[in-house]
Amino acid sequence: MDARSKRIAVPLAVDLDGTLIAADLLWESLFLLIRKRPLCVFLLPLWLMKGRAHLKCRIAERIDFDPAALPYRTELLARLQEDKAAGRHIVLATASPRLLAEKVAAHLGVFDQVLCTDPDCNMASAIKRDALIAAFGDGGFDYAGNSKADLKVFDAARQAVVVAPDRAASAWQAAHGGELIAAPKVSMRTIAKMLRVHQWLKNALIFVPLVLAHQYANLPVMLEAVLAFVAFSAAASAIYILNDFFDLALDRRHATKRNRPLASGVLSIPFGLGAMAVLLLMAAGTAAFLPPVFAAVLALYLVTTTAYSIAVKRMLLVDVLMLAGLYTLRILAGCAATGIEVSFWLLAFSVFFFLSLALVKRYVELRSTEVPVGERLAGRGYRLEDQEIIAQAGMASAFSSALVLALYIQSDAIDALYTHPWLIWPLGPIVLYITMRIWILARRDEMHDDPIVFIIRDWRSQAVAGLGALLLLAAGL
């Protein structure tokens, strides 16, 4: 009997979390539960008092779980399919609850047996080892695992297949041998992608009050604005991570979002939670050097964006109004950090301008996603037939922002700030050019799904925005 035949003759037990999938079902289930039933968070301590196994099963009963959306490790899955075709007995041995484990087994169709967690038994570590020994004998099975919890099972197996190991499993493999299936290396670029570093440019709105008040040469004021930018960028990245936790299943069904570090499983949820903690501490520490009113605005931003991630993003129209408000909140943060007086004209312009861009984002999502007529876009409150009214509202908001700008230029407030206010008049056509072009490209399906990112990357938008900045500068000379 050759080596392959001997291997096929030995049963293979496969762990699920972190091994067969690049994810942890307990963490994912927890965020699914919070998103669907936020009040259940108060039941978690009560369930945990009855044991970890009880907690897992209670959560699983209350969520909608789709095994097809999980990030499977393709190399291991291909081997299982090959071994199954050759007649090997394959067991799914997991600490995940039965309700989820059996759905995964049914979806993949490669498992002959499922050993999993029930309310009174957490199928992990020594318990999993004893169950496999009882079924196949000591050394009578091979085992694929990835973590410290699998070490006792590795010791009892004939051969270990160590998949994407943590530090403890990697040390075990180095000392005892066994086959290694390594995970992709995590680069700084991957972490930056999780943090959405490119989105930090949105926080440049913090500098708008400073620029419009002609305080850009005032170094203390500029330093305050820079600190506010750092605090908001750290807080924003923390919320982006939280948003990814709640949208894991939705992102995995999206053509491009499925490649996000958390959705793809390249980075784990515990890693993301640790990054969130560091970012929030950074935001709080930086805010401590600024006026207390800035800390209040930052706290309002965190509360509002968290509410948006959990619930508001699925509410018709409320979501885009909140998005416009969040952009305006960045301007208020700049005022709070620097002590510059809030301008009614600036806030009015901001609300209409960013409402138009928020509506573009929803419009593009509807255009780029196949949704049957009468059904809502996944994770949103919109339907396919809403496209036209969204476009009309978006264009109306764009023109309203230009109208506010025109009224501001004709107001008495302009004379106190600008020597040549007539030079600012071209800003109206510039705003209309940027927004109308975005809407035209959106209708042509030629635009990024985030219009802010599009403006930042589009050289034409950069050119006209730069022209507007020069006109503002010249008007004040």
Average pLDDT over residues 302-330: 89
Q: What is the pLDDT of residues 185-208, one digit of tens each?
A: 888 999 999 999 988 988 999 998
pLDDT of residue 456: 76
Apex CA 424: angle with CA 418 and CA 426, to 5°?
A: 175
Average pLDDT over residues 361-370: 84
Q: Please, what's the b/e burial string for 167-176 (b: 16 or more CB within 10 A of its CB; e: otherwise)?
A: eebeebbeee
Mean pLDDT score of the chain, rounded to an integer?
90
pLDDT of residue 408: 86
Average pLDDT over residues 454-460: 81
Average pLDDT over residues 338-347: 87
pTM for this model (two decimals) = 0.86
Out of 33-37, 91-95, 213-217, 270-274, which region has the weakest mean confidence (pLDDT)? 213-217
pLDDT of residue 258: 87
Q: What is the pLDDT of residues 411-450, one digit of tens each?
A: 877 777 788 888 888 888 999 999 999 999 999 888 866 7
Does position 1 have pLDDT exceeding 60, yes or no?
Answer: no
Coil, strand or helix: which one is 123?
coil
Residue 339 neighbours by CB under 8 Å, 6+ apart: 221, 224, 291
- Cα distances (Å, whole numbers) of residue 75 to 103, 144, 241: 21, 12, 28
| pLDDT band, very low/low/confident/very high, at 474 (cuts 50, 70, 90) | confident
Of residues 368 and 258, which shows the higher confidence score?
258
Backbone angles phi, psi at 52, to 5 degrees: -65, -40
pLDDT of residue 466: 86
Coil, strand or helix: which one is 444?
coil
Average pLDDT over residues 48-59: 94
To 10 degrees, the CA torsion angle through 100, 101, 105, 110?
150
Does position 370 have pLDDT exceeding 90, yes or no?
Answer: no
Does position 2 have pLDDT exceeding 80, yes or no?
Answer: no
Q: What percent of the chain has pLDDT over 90?
A: 64
Q: How many residues does the chain have?
A: 477
Average pLDDT over residues 72-94: 94
Burial class (CB in 10 A: 0-12, 13-18, 19+), 351: buried
Q: Comparing C-alpha atoms, which of 441, 472, 470 is closest to residue 455?
A: 441
Q: Comparing C-alpha atoms, which of 75, 76, 78, 90 is closest to residue 10?
A: 90
pLDDT of residue 221: 92
| pLDDT band, very low/low/confident/very high, at 373 (cuts 50, 70, 90) | confident
Does position 139 have pLDDT exceeding 60, yes or no?
Answer: yes
Q: What is the pLDDT of residues 326-339, one digit of tens each?
A: 999 999 999 999 99
Of residues 30 and 469, which shows the higher confidence score?
30
